[in-house]
Structure 1
């Protein structure tokens, strides 16, 4: 498909999630004109921002005449449907959001919240970025990350097989094993 269907452009959505925290720096970065322009250049048509407990309210844009549509909400019982329908996810560094996105095979940019004390989440994001499963950045470098994005360079994430650990535990506990 060439991106057009019945004369209309296909929807290509960026979903942004901050989880249950306040991460205004990420919401502000995504809401900047430069980031929105760059996402439009990359072919994205919609941005949906889950802004959590933040106080910064992004600019809502209706997206008429082919312009980028921007919408937001605070919380949802589940973000699974948003993740599934997105073409790109920009997320805080929460492990749940990271692994749920990676298991869906969606391209992911993780933005670390440097305001959190003892931010262990950045270690997870750095490790997964080193393995090329995701892109890792900070709010102030989000624009540069989007400009340089090469989604083809990302390596699909495949969770490990827990059976070897289960077999070892069963042997240790004295339970019968298949081997």
Structure 2
């Protein structure tokens, strides 16, 4: 995806979602000039931030000066369209957001919210990163993760097949095999 024949750059959006939580550290991390310049250098044209219950409002930009177009919103009844149209997703570590993004086969960086107590979500993100389905970062390491990421190294996520487990349970309960 590059420039088209008429010189207009194709739109490449980075979608950031914090879910329903307050995750100002993530919103602040993507709202720095350094971060936005890195996204532009990597060919991204738009940054759309779903900021949840946060109190930090990122700086909007129309991109008229050739910089990244930046916009944000608080909540949406569904972020499915945002995920579908994104070229890269940066998400909090909520399992719903993670698996919905992976199911759509979108490159994903999961940012762990260290302010949450007993954050079991980070274990999921770290395990999926180890399996090379996504990148895992913290707010303070997000810039470095984007600067060094190789999207070609990510492997598609294939959900497990529950049929063998269901057959075993049915057999145990005395139901006939189909």
Q: Which moved more, 1:125-134 or 1:62-71?
A: 62-71
Instruction: Confirm or deny that 1:94 pairs with 2:94.
Output: yes
TM-score for both structures, normalised by structure 1: 0.97
Determine helix, strand or coil for the equivalent of 1:140. Answer: helix
Per-residue deviation, residues 5-44 of structure 1 (Å, max 9, x unmatched): 5331100000000000000000000001111010010000
Task: Give the aligned partner of residue 176 of structure 2.
Answer: 176
Alignment of 1:1-179 (within 5 A): 2-178=2-178
Give 5+ residue unaligned stretches, structure 2: none
C-alpha RMSD of matched pairs (Å): 0.9
Question: How has the CA–CA distance of structure 1 residues 11 and 5 changed in structure 2, closer, same or farther, with 3 Å as cutoff?
Answer: farther
Partners of 1:175 and 1:79 in 2: CA distance = 40
What is the number of equivalent residue pairs in this alignment? 178
Spell out, residue by residue over 1:32-73, the C-alpha distance to the aligned partner (whole angstroms, 9 max, x if none).
111101001000000000000000000000111432100000
Residues in 1 aligned to 2:5 and 2:27: alpha-carbon distance in whole angstroms = 32
- Structure 1 stretches of 5 or more lacking a match? none
Deviations 1:80-109 (A, max 9, x none): 000000000000000000000000000000
**Cα displacement string for residues 120-142 of structure 1 (whole angstroms, at most 9, x for unaligned residues):** 00000000000000000000010
Query: Separation in 2 of the partners of 1:133 and 1:91?
Result: 14
Secondary structure of residue in 2 paired with 1:66: coil
Task: Tell me, in whole angstroms, the C-alpha distance in 1 between the residues paired with 2:3 and 2:167.
Answer: 48
**What SS class does the counterpart of residue 70 from structure 1 fall into?**
strand
User: Which segments of structure 1 move beyond 3 Å, counting only runs of 4 or more?
Assistant: none
